[in-house]
Amino acid sequence: MRGWRSVLAPLGAIGIALVALGLLLLLLGADPLRALGALMGGAFGDRNALENTLLRMCPLLLVGLGVALAFRCGVWNIGGEGQLYLGALAASALATRVLPDAPALLLLPLVVLGGALAGALWGGIAAALRVGRGVSEVLSTILLNFVALLLVAYAVHGPLQEASGAYPQSDLFPLAAQLGLLPGTGRVHSGLVLALLLPAALWFGLFRTAAGLRLRAVGLAPEAARYAGIRPERELVRVLLISGGLAGLAGALEVSGVTGRLFENLSSGYGFTAIAVALLARLHPLGVLPAAAFFAALSTGSGAMQRVAAVPAVTVQLLEALVILISASFALPRRTD
């Protein structure tokens, strides 16, 4: 019964949100079915649309997994956006400045790994502040988002700016530092395979290892976990490193697989939408996959909806907000009774 509930509740949240959106579209004088059809078409209708959706799903999936893990441990990591940017920044620095001439076989793994480590470092700062000085990670991770954005702005206007100096962006990555495309696709990078394997891996880690049990225990009842011999502080540090690392990985994949270079506004808020993804997934690693696909589809389909059905694209943001509110209010796993 518990199992069913965890699947049905998110679907219910989406259903209610869709009905509410439909009513709103009626009020606006639009045809809700036509608008929804356009949304679906824009997200999945042709190959281009589908590839777009997959590309957007990738960072949502990775950051969403990190958020889900952190929330499960009772650690409110709101800093996915900053951690993602730091990953992108580190990957770009490695690819265009530090190691551009490294052997091709090494360069790409180093770039991706460097991005993940930089994201972990960014999460680690929040962890150190929490454990060392008692600073709430909610505050520190939010504030570190701004620091990361400013660091990227500084980098693309300064040390990492392209050689021509024309735009505030980095040089194009050398080919050896760019992710290859999946065979048979026009734009989808091979990093997606890694992203698709991670939910199952993290499910295993969470539910079939000692470390996963510790993490869940700390999230549900930190004092009971402490009395059972677990050190909650250690779990907090670990989960923030992992969570930040996943966001950093997402950033690295964006620059080396999608854009090929670093610039401001690279992310379009993946780090924040990922929180909604994790909530809709009820913090379950396997649920993050469909939840990320859902939010990715919304964002790719909204443009088509605007064009075809003459509905403002912002109504999609409304839908996203409704889904988040509804899923946060009754789809979140309950902690007591």
Partner 1 sequence: MTQVALRNVYKRFAATEALRGANLELEPAEIHALLGENGAGKSTLVRVLYGLVEPDRGEVRIDDEPVSITSPHHALALGIGLVHQHFMGVPALSVAENLMLGQHGSLARRHAAACELLERYQLGLDPDRPAGELAVAEQQRLEIVRALGRDVKLLILDEPTAVLAPSEVELLLAWLSGLREEGRTVLLISHKLTEVSSLCDRVTVLRHGLNVITREVAGLDAAQLGRFMLGEAPPPPGQPPQTQPGQVALRLEAVRAQGLSGIELELRSGEILALGGIDGNGQGPLEQVLAGVRTLHSGSIELLCPPLALLSGERERTGLVLELAIEENLALPQAAHRHGFLSPRALRGSALDMLQRFGIRARPELPARVLSGGNQQKLCVARALCGGPGVLVAVNPTRGLDVAGTALVREEIRSLTASGCAVLLISTDLDEVLELGNRIAVFFRGALLPLDPAHHDRAEIGRLMLGEGAA
Q: How far is the CB of 337 from partner 1 (least distance, A)?
A: 7
166 or 210: CB nearest partner 1: 210
Q: How far is the CB of 223 from partner 1 (least distance, A)?
A: 5
The CA distance from 99 to 171, in Å, is 13
Handedness of CA 22, 24, 26, 31 (dihedral sign): negative
225 or 305: CB nearest partner 1: 225
Nearest to 267 by CA among 123, 56, 120: 56
27 or 210: CB nearest partner 1: 210
Instruction: Say if residues 271 and 109 touch (Cβ distance below 8 Å).
Output: no
The CA distance from 84 to 146, in Å, is 12
Instruction: Say if residues 65 and 288 touch (Cβ distance below 8 Å).
Output: yes
HSE-up of 117 (CA within 13 Å, CB side)? Answer: 9
Q: How far is the CB of 243 from partner 1 (least distance, A)?
A: 19
What is the torsion angle, in degrees rounded to the nearest 10, for the CA atoms of residue 286, residue 62, residue 108 and residue 165? Answer: 160
Residues contacting partner 1: total by CB under 8 A = 22
Q: How far is the CB of 5 from partner 1 (least distance, A)?
A: 13
Q: How far is the CB of 210 from partner 1 (least distance, A)?
A: 4
Q: How far is the CB of 231 from partner 1 (least distance, A)?
A: 8
Strand partners, 263: 169
29 or 229: CB nearest partner 1: 229
Q: How far is the CB of 219 from partner 1 (least distance, A)?
A: 9
Report 183-242 residues binding partner 1 (CB under 8 A). Answer: 208-211, 213-214, 216-217, 220-221, 223-231
101 or 223: CB nearest partner 1: 223
209 or 317: CB nearest partner 1: 209
The CA distance from 206 to 122, in Å, is 23
The CA distance from 68 to 85, in Å, is 19
Instruction: Say if residues 78 and 215 touch (Cβ distance below 8 Å).
Output: no
Report 307-336 residues binding partner 1 (CB under 8 A). Answer: 335-336
Instruction: Say if residues 66 and 77 touch (Cβ distance below 8 Å).
Output: yes
Does 133 bind partner 1 (CB under 8 A)? Our answer is no
Instruction: Say if residues 13 and 280 touch (Cβ distance below 8 Å).
Output: yes
The C-alpha angle with vertex 207 and arms to 203 and 211, in degrees rounded to 5, equals 105
Q: How far is the CB of 283 from partner 1 (least distance, A)?
A: 12
The CA distance from 180 to 65, in Å, is 24
129 or 217: CB nearest partner 1: 217
144 or 230: CB nearest partner 1: 230
Q: In the complex, which residues of this chain contact partner 1 (CB under 8 A)?
A: 208-211, 213-214, 216-217, 220-221, 223-231, 335-337
